[in-house]
Chain A
Amino acid sequence: MSYKGRSRVTARRRLRAPVFAALGDETRLSLIAKLCGGQPYSISQLTRGSRLTRQAITKHLRVLERAGIVHSVRRGRESRFEFDPEPIAGIKEYLDFVSEQWDQAFSRLKAFVEN
């Protein structure tokens, strides 16, 4: 598995909202935590060891899929879900960028008011 380039992302103009919404749930976060190791999992594998039903897990996976956070790939008779880091990495990168701008602005403000 390789990390896909940014060019494909910049061509789109998708909103961040579905990604934020997808992340706003503990079950989905735990699914991401499992899938972001890079290994694809089937629904059965993801349901095992969970208190949730297969249907509930499937519903959560669909939300992640719509946000582009996971993709399903067919392996024989079963679908497996694979993690795509792009949507979350994009958001994290942007927040880091804005955060860094504020750090710089604040150090200028500090110098400005303390002199």
Chain B
Amino acid sequence: MNHRIEKRIQLQAPVSRVWRALTDYREFGEWFRVKLDGPFVPGQVSRGQITYPGYEHVKWEAIVQKMEPEGLFSFIWHHSLDPNADIANEPTTLVEFKLEKNESGTLLTLTESGFENLPENLRLEAFPRNDGGWTEQMKNIENYVVQGS
């Protein structure tokens, strides 16, 4: 069963450029759409405000884990939409960005893991859901279970 999210993307840019876009807090904020209070420092809490339209009330809170230059950047964060949420008390997932240099530039791999820590109802109520019929649900679940096994 695959309970983690994994993404791979090929970027036509040198590793140094990608590293900066990931770890410079202003650059990270540009593409991630968050206004961060200050630089990322391993072991320290990173705070900010989401700038993504419709989510401006959502806080960004993470604890930076590893910053291995041009190799690995990781942090843990929580998924709560509650403006009073505090990362010290919230369940978190681990986000890892791995960078690899190749002929076309940089291969970036993202993994997010630890979803088993989260409460069942997180965020779902905030989004319109596709209430597919029984058959569609079954098909989805069957695919999910079979793929992951």
**Which of A's residues lie within 8 Å of B, judged by CB?**
1-3, 5-6, 9-10, 12-17, 19-21, 23-24, 26, 29, 32-33, 36-38, 85, 87-95, 97-99, 102-103, 105-106, 108-114
Contact, CB under 8 Å: B30 / A112: yes
Contact, CB under 8 Å: A102 / B1: no
Which of these binds chain A: B41-49, B67-75, B81-89, B127-135?
B127-135
B102 at the interface (CB under 8 A from A): no
Q: Give residues of chain B (109-149) contacting chain A, Cβ–Cβ below 8 Å.
A: 110, 112, 115-125, 127, 129, 131-134, 137-138, 140-142, 144-146, 148-149
A70 CB, min distance to chain B CBs, angstroms = 13
Q: Complex: how many Å from CA A35 to CA B1?
A: 17
Closest B residue, CB atoms, query A68: B120
B27 at the interface (CB under 8 A from A): yes
Contact, CB under 8 Å: A105 / B32: yes
Using C-beta atoms within 8 Å of the partner chain, give the interface range for chain B.
35 or more
Which chain A residues border B12 with CB–CB below 8 Å? 114
Q: Complex: how many Å from CA A15 to CA B115?
A: 10
Which chain A residues border B5 with CB–CB below 8 Å? 95, 98-99, 102
B101 at the interface (CB under 8 A from A): no
Known contacts A1-B134, A9-B120, A26-B149; is A20 also within 8 Å of B115 by CB? yes
Which chain B residues border A94 with CB–CB below 8 Å? 115, 118, 122-124
Q: Complex: how many Å from CA A23 to CA B2?
A: 10
Known contacts A3-B131, A113-B17; is A16 also within 8 Å of B142 by CB? no
A81 CB, min distance to chain B CBs, angstroms = 16
Closest 8 CB pairs of A and B: A20-B116, A113-B13, A108-B31, A112-B31, A109-B31, A23-B1, A10-B125, A14-B120
